[in-house]
A and B are shown apart, each in its own frame.
Chain A
Amino acid sequence: MRFTDAVEFALASLRKRRLRTLLTASGVMIGIGALVSMISFGKGMQKNVTEAFKASDLFTTLMVMPGGADVPSRDPARPRRPAETAGRAGAVLDDAAVAEISQIPGVRTAYPDVSFPALIALEGEEEFRLVQVVPAAVAASNAVRVGWGRAYASDDEEGVVVSRSLARRLGTDEPAAAVGKTLRITSVSIDLGELASLDLAGLFSGKGLPVAREVYDFPIVGVTEITAFGGGPSPVQNDVIIPPGTARRIKRLPITSIWDLFRLRDGRLGYSAASVKLGSLRDLEPVKSRVREMGFTTFALADQFDEITKAFYFMDMILAAVGMIAIVVAALGIVNTMVMSILERFREIGVMKAVGAGDGDIRRIFFFESGTIGLLGGAAGCVLGWAVSLVINRVVNFYMARQGMPDIDYFAFPFWIFLGAVGFSLLVSLVSGIYPARRAARVDPVIALRHD
């Protein structure tokens, strides 16, 4: 029988059992809808994260650590320090080394990761925070997203940038209002000369550390935006950033961890890490090898991107697996409907065979029927998945707006999702049709036509 006739036969039979066709197609619609929204959610997350990473310059930032430092690695086979990035032990990351790194072609800026603990106060409210020292050039780049006010203009400007969440915690809800206010930074310092002469016995004998408190006031020049993903993947993470020239005038502890204290003891003062901003991703490999030749350990997020991609692939699989449960249920619905249809049309199948229908003709009619259910359900499922995603997106953004988060599209709909969904739905329905179609083709006309 001709293709068009098989389609016509299938449609006529589906029309005749309209309600059942609709219900079965609804099952497929829900399954495909779930799958579409699951996958578009996965794609949305991937898109948001990848874009946020790209926008934040994380890919063009290289972290440099002293030789022999541990390197964060998520590879279970190599839990720490991959051999190719670990430098030789003992290379000290001091100002001279940072200056040398900044001269390597392809490097835009290199600056030590310096942060120090301080008591931060704004109009009476106060909290302990790490203050991060960030050069003006970096503060003006994508690494810091200033939403209100501006970044400080020079490394010596008397001004600080704070995060919106800190401003809020310190009692200023409207970020624009925080600009121009005065931030008080109270730092703690230790007289290093005295520290060197202290012995452990002295430390525990109640003399205490030779600690001094210093108080500084700086105007807030800018407030950073809160970005979508936990403050945003950014090389600059802290709530208060301050230019290096200004920071130098603050008396403070030169340490952020206990390890710095040990390094101090053998008189080899160096930074625990430095950030290197590159002109482009192409500069990563040459700069990395130069820095490693200098004896330092490097860490580049771009190197980890394969793992991030893998993680998203894995997330997609899990989301798809959840969607697949609904698909399996829908497929069983198709099988059920088609088998019912055979029982109801037992005699009609016999008649068709008696007037010359071959096994293939009968199979084809039933295949087209289940395929049509799949196409209908798949197309409706795309619309459903899209609509549900839209609603969820609205609701989530409504609540996120209350938290001061910007609007985000949590779902992404590349065109292939719809094509793929309809194609997959058709495939599932055809597979579901295999058994019913074969069974219909095997109907014995003598039995089907035996009267009454």
Chain B
Amino acid sequence: MNAPPIIQTRSLAKTYLIGDVRVAALEDVTLAVAEGRFMAVTGASGSGKSTLLNLLGGLDTPSAGTIEVDGALVSAMNREALARYRRFGAGMIFQSFNLVPARTALENVELPLVFSNVDKKERKRRAAELLEKVGLAHRANHRPSQLSGGEQQRVAVARALANGPRLLLADEPTGNLDSRTSREIVGLLAELNRGRRLTVVMVSHEESLVREYAHDVVRLRDGRIVGTESRA
């Protein structure tokens, strides 16, 4: 782990207020992820994994602490800067795929390029290229409802990479998939991690997949880091 960290959090905390009760979803999380690594985040349900990923992805803002990604202080960004960070800085995929049902696979992959003002022709070209990279060129004009779970998640991966981020955040990407398809998706992430020097942070419960692909494993319990493992 001698490469400089692409992600560095310090004393990160997130508390939610439910009525009068303060729920600490994340507490004192200090974490570094070196560039080009594949990190897995594990922990029981409710341990704060999604909260951590949302903070890293700029979807949410911390209650305390700092997040630095690629030298930029994400935790201090305003709404507009956060939108730009989500556009270019970090791609995200989710357990429930989150594709736009009315749009075809190609159009879903185009979506981030629309917000980065890429013109239509170039957009189509890049989206087609990305779909080919995830092995779905033949499904470009299908709508999400016409695709299998694994195919939908591949479209989501292509979409997350559209603006060329150096960071991919995956929140239980295999939660809705069978074990064979899960292996394929994690395999795809690992391949992208190898080939493109893409840093991946993935939340997962599946110990076998984690052991097989992750370089680093972070364990969370009740919002705190309770263990980290790394292999070379």
Residues of B within 8 A of A355 (CB): 86-87, 111-112, 115, 159-160, 162
Shortest C-beta distance, B52 to chain A (Å), equals 12
Q: Does A357 contact B (CB under 8 A)?
A: yes
Known: A12-B102, A354-B59. A5 touches B114 (CB 8 A): yes
- Among the stretches A80-88, A111-119, A286-294, A444-452, the one at the interface with B is A444-452
Which of A350, A358, A446, A449 touches B80 (beta carbons < 8 Å)? A358
Which of A5, A357, A451 touches B94 (beta carbons < 8 Å)? A451
- In the complex formed, the residue of B with least CB distance to A352 is B111
Residues of A within 8 A of B84 (CB): 356, 358
- In the complex formed, the residue of B with least CB distance to A5 is B114
- Docked Cα-Cα span, A233 to B98, in Å, equals 73
Known: A1-B117, A361-B115, A446-B59. A353 touches B94 (CB 8 A): no
Residues of B within 8 A of A74 (CB): none
Residues of A within 8 A of B112 (CB): 355-356
Residues of B within 8 A of A360 (CB): 80
- Docked Cα-Cα span, A316 to B79, in Å, equals 47
Q: Which of A334-390 contact B (CB under 8 A)?
A: 347-348, 350-361
Q: Which of B115-150 contact A (CB under 8 A)?
A: 115-117, 119-120
Residues of A within 8 A of B120 (CB): 5
- Docked Cα-Cα span, A228 to B106, in Å, equals 67
Q: Which of A418-452 contact B (CB under 8 A)?
A: 445-446, 449, 451-452
Interface centre among A351, A359, A360 (most CB of B within 10 A): A351
Which of B95, B98, B114, B159 touches A347 (beta carbons < 8 Å)? B98
- Docked Cα-Cα span, A450 to B163, in Å, equals 24
Q: Does B30 contact A (CB under 8 A)?
A: no
Q: Does A207 contact B (CB under 8 A)?
A: no
Known: A356-B87, A358-B80. A351 touches B115 (CB 8 A): no
- In the complex formed, the residue of A with least CB distance to B111 is A355
Bin chain A's interface residue count: 20 to 34
Residues of A within 8 A of B115 (CB): 1, 352, 355-358, 361
A-facing mask of B153-179, CB < 8 A → 1, else 0?
A: 000000110110000000000000000
Q: Does B226 contact A (CB under 8 A)?
A: no
- Docked Cα-Cα span, A357 to B60, in Å, equals 14
- Docked Cα-Cα span, A347 to B92, in Å, equals 15
Q: Does B100 contact A (CB under 8 A)?
A: yes
Q: Is the CB of A351 within 8 A of B98?
A: yes
Q: Is the CB of A356 within 8 A of B59?
A: no
Q: Does B96 contact A (CB under 8 A)?
A: yes
Q: Is the CB of A354 within 8 A of B102?
A: no
- Docked Cα-Cα span, A255 to B87, in Å, equals 95
Q: Is the CB of A359 within 8 A of B117?
A: no
Residues of A within 8 A of B193 (CB): none
Residues of A within 8 A of B111 (CB): 351-352, 355
Q: Does B15 contact A (CB under 8 A)?
A: no
Shortest C-beta distance, A27 to chain B (Å), equals 25
Interface centre among A351, A354, A446 (most CB of B within 10 A): A354
Residues of B within 8 A of A248 (CB): none
Q: Which of B53-87 contact A (CB under 8 A)?
A: 54, 57, 59-60, 79-80, 83-84, 86-87
Q: Does A16 contact B (CB under 8 A)?
A: yes
Q: Does B88 contact A (CB under 8 A)?
A: yes
Q: Is the CB of A446 within 8 A of B54?
A: yes
Which of A347, A356, A445 touches B163 (beta carbons < 8 Å)? A356
Q: Is the CB of B102 within 8 A of A353?
A: no
- In the complex formed, the residue of A with least CB distance to B118 is A2
Q: Is the CB of B98 within 8 A of A449?
A: yes
- In the complex formed, the residue of B with least CB distance to A351 is B98
Residues of A within 8 A of B116 (CB): 356
Q: Is the CB of B114 within 8 A of A1?
A: yes
Q: Is the CB of B100 within 8 A of A348?
A: yes
Residues of A within 8 A of B159 (CB): 355
- Docked Cα-Cα span, A140 to B42, in Å, equals 105
Residues of A within 8 A of B117 (CB): 1-2
B-facing mask of A1-30, CB < 8 A → 1, else 0?
A: 110010001001000100000000000000
Q: Is the CB of A446 within 8 A of B60?
A: yes
Q: Is the CB of A356 within 8 A of B83?
A: yes
Residues of A within 8 A of B79 (CB): 358-359
- Docked Cα-Cα span, A84 to B95, in Å, equals 88
Interface centre among A5, A356, A357, A446 (most CB of B within 10 A): A356
Known: A5-B114, A352-B115. A449 touches B94 (CB 8 A): yes
Shortest C-beta distance, B102 to chain A (Å), equals 6
Which of B59, B80, B87, B100 touches A445 (beta carbons < 8 Å)? B59
- In the complex formed, the residue of B with least CB distance to A450 is B50
Shortest C-beta distance, A61 to chain B (Å), equals 69
Q: Is the CB of A354 within 8 A of B92?
A: yes
B-facing mask of A281-300, CB < 8 A → 1, else 0?
A: 00000000000000000000
- Docked Cα-Cα span, A452 to B119, in Å, equals 34
Shortest C-beta distance, B14 to chain A (Å), equals 10
Residues of B within 8 A of A16 (CB): 102
Shortest C-beta distance, A443 to chain B (Å), equals 12
- In the complex formed, the residue of A with least CB distance to B91 is A355
- In the complex formed, the residue of A with least CB distance to B54 is A446
Residues of B within 8 A of A452 (CB): 96
Residues of B within 8 A of A446 (CB): 54, 59-60
Q: Which of A197-253 contact B (CB under 8 A)?
A: none
- In the complex formed, the residue of A with least CB distance to B88 is A356
Shortest C-beta distance, B109 to chain A (Å), equals 10
With A445-B59, A449-B59 given, can you name 4 additional A-B contacts, CB distance below 8 Å? A354-B59, A356-B88, A358-B79, A446-B59
Instruction: In the A-B complex, list the 5 residue pairs whose CB atoms are closest, starting with the nearest.
Output: A356-B87, A358-B83, A355-B112, A451-B96, A356-B115
Residues of B within 8 A of A (CB): 54, 57, 59-60, 79-80, 83-84, 86-88, 92, 94-96, 98-100, 102, 111-112, 114-117, 119-120, 159-160, 162-163
**What would 12 A/B residue contacts be, using CB atoms closer than 8 Å?**
A12-B102, A351-B99, A352-B100, A356-B84, A356-B87, A356-B115, A358-B83, A358-B84, A446-B54, A446-B60, A451-B94, A451-B96
Residues of A within 8 A of B (CB): 1-2, 5, 9, 12, 16, 347-348, 350-361, 445-446, 449, 451-452
